[in-house]
Structure 1
Amino acid sequence: MAVVCVGQSAYDIVIPYDGELTENQKYRVRDRLECGGGPAMNAAYLCALWGEETSLISRIGDDDYGKKLKKILREAGVDTAHLVEEDGIETPYSIILSNTGNGARTIFNFPGEIRYRQYTYPKLDVSVILSDGHLPKLSIGAIEEYPSALSVLDAGTCRESTMEVAPYVDYIVCSEDFARQYTGKAMDLNDPGLCREIFSQIQSINRKHAVITLGEKGLLYEEDGELKHLPAYPARAVDTSGAGDIFHGAFAYGLARKMSLEDILKLSSMASAISVESLGGQSSIPSLDLTERKLKEQER
């Protein structure tokens, strides 16, 4: 059984800093980290690193960044046969300012030119499809191509392409930002009625399963009709880049391994918590052994 991830690949340039940035000032940069990025790519990298057969459907340019991304993916064991290299366009890339004092990051994303062309799907026995919403037609096509597979949407922001995919998936795993943008309401964990109202509105999009991630406040999910709150695991945040991507990758892995929803969420939360303690997105993805060991330590 395999995992197929559909969506964005990007090359990340992470610049760490400490303190506030002021306009019209010059800052001397001494350190930087370059690594893979993009929600679908990071999720695919994690699944392959953790031993799951994984294929990535995405687009890159036929340039230096594209070649570097391909090398990164192949070294992790991701099937890149369906990674489309577009001639004459730039590979999507991001410049990320990461505040090492509090882990916050500011992202300048260069998405590259989108060309609509014919993509093909892997000839695999697929058990899980993960879409980040960036390639909606391909994501919906994958759900139709593999009707027995479970499908997950990484809903980071409430944009048109994300909403195009949302009604078709089995699991909407969305951020607090998405929930606020979609419902127009801010989450307050001290108001159970409001939390239930917001959660129900998100769940009504696909009428199946939903999870709302809340960063350092944990997450909300439903089990046996009861809305539950899972607190976040403690972490000293240095860089939150890719934390959501890593959460979704671990979620897809857990579905592929037929874990219970509670265990999937604990695994995903721990992987995400570990990742924020170091710089970068793809470069901060923890091993499965480390993630499971940290989980056992936390639950003693």
Structure 2
Amino acid sequence: MKNILCVGHSACDITYIMDEFPIENRKYKVNETKIMGGGPTGNASYLLGKYGEDVSYITTLGLDAYGVNIVSELESVKVDLKNSILKKEYTTPCSMIITNIKTGSRTILNHRNKNFIPDTYKINYINKPKFILFDGHEIELARRALNEFPEAITILDAGSYKLETVELGAKVDYLICSEDFAREYTEIEEVNKENYLEVFNKMKKLNKKNIIITLGEKGCLYKKNGEIYNYPAFETKAIDTTGAGDIFHGAFVYALSNKFDLMKAIKFSSVCASLSVEKIGGRESIPMLEDIYKRMEKWESIGLKI
């Protein structure tokens, strides 16, 4: 087992690049498409491998063309897949992504079948991981990893609200949740400056350790020395937000692994995500480390206390 373990969802992303959102019952000619691996922890593990971290990834994949391509991509950046489950009877999940480059928005249609984990499955390791990143998918594998490595520092990418994500959210050391997750969990219809404190305090009922709430272009909320802050998003022109959240979470784990303090970890992750939305695609938009540090030098924001 490597220093960092990622557990969760993989998919093949097929991106259609358009300069408008399609209207129902019409035909459109698309000038460009991109096909690459995706999924929250899939993209995060790829980023960590690209940045030279020792990373293992546990997921389920079919031995179809999509699955084979995903394995090849991950192995190209030295992601260890020996504990992943690859089977002919599994179907590799697939996402169709419509990217509107005028607005930077993306619409995702995802198809996946539940891949049942064999009762005989065991995680084989030599050294226990120091960090584990979950994404709320593949819950059976996540439970096994939590039980197997109770001393690891755990992080959850809580992108969507569901029972499995809530279950993990209560157990991890760092709960990093989306605005959508926070809105559904707290039952507050809209997250805004007027209720940031209320939202954060309600989220603490789920996790009493470390919470970061990502708010897209509004930045993120976090707690430092007992005070809650709103860290702003780097102002940039987004052309494709696909994978930006995955990249934020992968960058945050990289920051923890390299002993960044919380403020620097959030800044590093925010800048990494801001660079990614300036390019099309998920994995192809992961920036180089030197570009992250260059942008960090130009950005002095420390966040505003709520």
TM class by smaller structure: over 0.9
Cα deviation digits, residues 244-265 of structure 1 (max 9, x gap) = 0000001111111121011000
Q: Report deviation, 1:148.
A: 2.2
1:271 aligns to what?
272
Q: Report deviation, 1:291.
A: 1.0
Report if aligned partners of 1:152, 1:170 keep a CA contact under 8 Å in 2: yes
Gap regions ≥5 residues in structure 2 = 302-306
Spell out the pairing of 1:235-254 with structure 2 (5 A cutoff). 235-254=236-255
Once residues 42 and 21 of structure 2 are traced to their aligned partners in structure 1, the CA distance between those partners, rounded to angstroms, is 30
- Pair 116,274 (structure 1): closer, same or farther in 2 beyond 3 Å: same
1:225 aligns to what?
226
2:16 aligns to what?
15
% identical equivalent positions: 39
The secondary structure found in structure 1 opposite 2:73 is helix
Cα deviation digits, residues 83-106 of structure 1 (max 9, x gap) = 211222321111100000011111
- Pair 110,199 (structure 1): closer, same or farther in 2 beyond 3 Å: same
The secondary structure found in structure 2 opposite 1:204 is coil
The secondary structure found in structure 1 opposite 2:130 is strand
TM normalised by structure 2 equals 0.94
1:147 aligns to what?
150
- Pair 135,113 (structure 1): closer, same or farther in 2 beyond 3 Å: closer
Once residues 234 and 119 of structure 1 are traced to their aligned partners in structure 2, the CA distance between those partners, rounded to angstroms, is 45
Report if aligned partners of 1:55, 1:122 keep a CA contact under 8 Å in 2: no
Spell out the pairing of 1:121-136 with structure 2 (5 A cutoff). 121-136=124-139
Question: Relative to structure 2, which stretch is displaced further, 110-119 or 56-65?
Answer: 110-119
1:112 aligns to what?
113
2:173 aligns to what?
170
Cα deviation digits, residues 59-94 of structure 1 (max 9, x gap) = 100111111001100111111112211222321111
2:206 aligns to what?
205
Match of 1:188 among 188, 192, 197: 192
Once residues 113 and 294 of structure 2 are traced to their aligned partners in structure 1, the CA distance between those partners, rounded to angstroms, is 39
2:137 is matched by which residue type in structure 1? H
The secondary structure found in structure 2 opposite 1:116 is coil
2:86 aligns to what?
85
The secondary structure found in structure 1 opposite 2:109 is strand
- Pair 210,146 (structure 1): closer, same or farther in 2 beyond 3 Å: same
Report if aligned partners of 1:170, 1:209 keep a CA contact under 8 Å in 2: yes
Once residues 110 and 119 of structure 1 are traced to their aligned partners in structure 2, the CA distance between those partners, rounded to angstroms, is 27
Report if aligned partners of 1:136, 1:164 keep a CA contact under 8 Å in 2: no
Cα deviation digits, residues 200-223 of structure 1 (max 9, x gap) = 111221211100000011000000
2:291 is matched by which residue type in structure 1? L
Q: Report deviation, 1:119.
A: 4.3
The secondary structure found in structure 1 opposite 2:280 is coil
Gap regions ≥5 residues in structure 1 = none
- CA RMSD after TM alignment: 1.4
Question: Relative to structure 2, which stretch is displaced further, 206-215 or 85-94?
Answer: 85-94
1:87 is matched by which residue type in structure 2? K
- Pair 229,145 (structure 1): closer, same or farther in 2 beyond 3 Å: same
Report if aligned partners of 2:17, 2:31 keep a CA contact under 8 Å in 1: no
TM normalised by structure 1 equals 0.95
Once residues 298 and 91 of structure 2 are traced to their aligned partners in structure 1, the CA distance between those partners, rounded to angstroms, is 44
Question: Relative to structure 2, which stretch is displaced further, 282-291 or 171-180?
Answer: 282-291
2:304 aligns to what?
none
2:260 aligns to what?
259
The secondary structure found in structure 1 opposite 2:20 is coil
Aligned residues: 297
1:129 is matched by which residue type in structure 2? I
1:33 aligns to what?
34
Q: Report deviation, 1:121.
A: 4.4
Question: Relative to structure 2, which stretch is displaced further, 201-210 or 168-177?
Answer: 201-210
Cα deviation digits, residues 109-150 of structure 1 (max 9, x gap) = 011332122242433231110000102232232223222211
Once residues 125 and 115 of structure 1 are traced to their aligned partners in structure 2, the CA distance between those partners, rounded to angstroms, is 25
Q: Report deviation, 1:38.
A: 0.2
Alignment partner of 1:160 is 2:163: yes
2:262 is matched by which residue type in structure 1? L
- Pair 119,95 (structure 1): closer, same or farther in 2 beyond 3 Å: farther
Q: Report deviation, 1:242.
A: 0.4
Question: Relative to structure 2, which stretch is displaced further, 52-61 or 141-150?
Answer: 141-150
Once residues 154 and 141 of structure 1 are traced to their aligned partners in structure 2, the CA distance between those partners, rounded to angstroms, is 18
Once residues 135 and 125 of structure 2 are traced to their aligned partners in structure 1, the CA distance between those partners, rounded to angstroms, is 18
**4+ aligned runs moved over 3 Å, structure 1:** none
Once residues 115 and 139 of structure 1 are traced to their aligned partners in structure 2, the CA distance between those partners, rounded to angstroms, is 13
